[in-house]
Amino acid sequence: MKMFVFVGKIKYEVKEVEGKFLNLDDFMLNAFPLKHGTFCNGYSFIEKDKLKLNKQKLRKLNLPNSPLIKKLAEGKDIIHNNKKISSKGVTYLQKGRKISFIFDTGYSESIITNVKDSDILISESTYEKRDHSLAIKHHHLTSAQAAEIAKKAKVKKLILTHISQRYPSFFHIEKEAKKIFKNTHLVKDLEIIEI
């Protein structure tokens, strides 16, 4: 901090986090320690499940756009035209998504527990499988290790990033990972990934 922050110019407060450190109505954030040469966290962004309205069923009921619809969306039953309309009959539960991030880490079984069932796992994949000893030495993952984590954690999609510049082409990184976990993608700079 002494190198980059001039005294008195920026006020900052460091708060170390672990576990669920932010819990809002729509989502929560979870931090978990990683295995690196210095303190480092992985993170999961966990969207909460939401009660959604089935628009087709609402149209059939001929409900006006009114506060009644809001009550149904909140899980409350309503009365319309002297008929009881059950919230359960016109709503469904939309499962929240989970996006996990693991950067700068060596392999650890605890990562699997923390990223379990992620819709997307964005993972470092610094080395090719053949450079396993370098991965251990520098506390990073090989493409095969990132894929093993994704497979064991039952994630839906693996996004590889943080590739060593030692390789003239990154093709082998993605290819090695896909042999273990088929739904793998090697991200490019500034690429946008839709969930």
Q: Cα-flanking dihedrals φ and ψ of residue 152, to 5°?
A: -65, -35
What's the pLDDT band for 91 if we cut at 50, 70, 90?
very high
66: its two tokens = 């009114």
Q: What letter does residue 25 receive in the DSSP assignment?
A: S
Domains defined along the chain, listed by start: 19-49+96-186 (3.60.15.10), 51-94 (no CATH)
2: its two tokens = 């002494």
* pLDDT tens-digit series, residues 120-178: 999 999 999 999 999 999 999 999 999 999 999 999 999 999 999 999 888 899 999 99
How many percent of the chain have pLDDT more than 90? 72
Nearest to 76 by CA among 84, 68, 87, 65: 87
Could you tell me the sign of the dihedral formed by the alpha carbons of 115, 120, 124, 130, in that order?
A: positive
Q: Which residues partner with 45 through β-bridges?
A: 29, 99
Query: Angle at Cα 111 formed by Cα 183 and Cα 134, nearest 5°?
Result: 85
What's the pLDDT band for 189 if we cut at 50, 70, 90?
confident
Coil, strand, or helix at residue 137? helix
Which pLDDT score, from 0 to 100, does residue 195 have? 82
- What is the dihedral angle through the alpha carbons of 66, 72, 76, 80, rounded to the nearest 10 degrees? 60
Nearest to 173 by CA among 132, 137, 129: 129
On the question of pLDDT at 22 being above 70, the answer is yes
Which pLDDT score, from 0 to 100, does residue 4 have? 64
What sections of 14-61 are H helices per DSSP? 55-61
Element (H, E) at 102: strand 98-102
User: How far, in Å, CA of 186 to CA of 183, rounded?
Assistant: 10
Q: In whole numbers, what is the pLDDT of the chain averaged over residues?
A: 92
Which pLDDT score, from 0 to 100, does residue 1 have? 57
Query: Angle at Cα 104 formed by Cα 103 and Cα 110, nearest 5°?
Result: 75
Which pLDDT score, from 0 to 100, does residue 109 have? 95
Contact partners, residue 119, CB within 8 Å, separation at least 6: 97, 98, 99, 155, 156, 157, 195
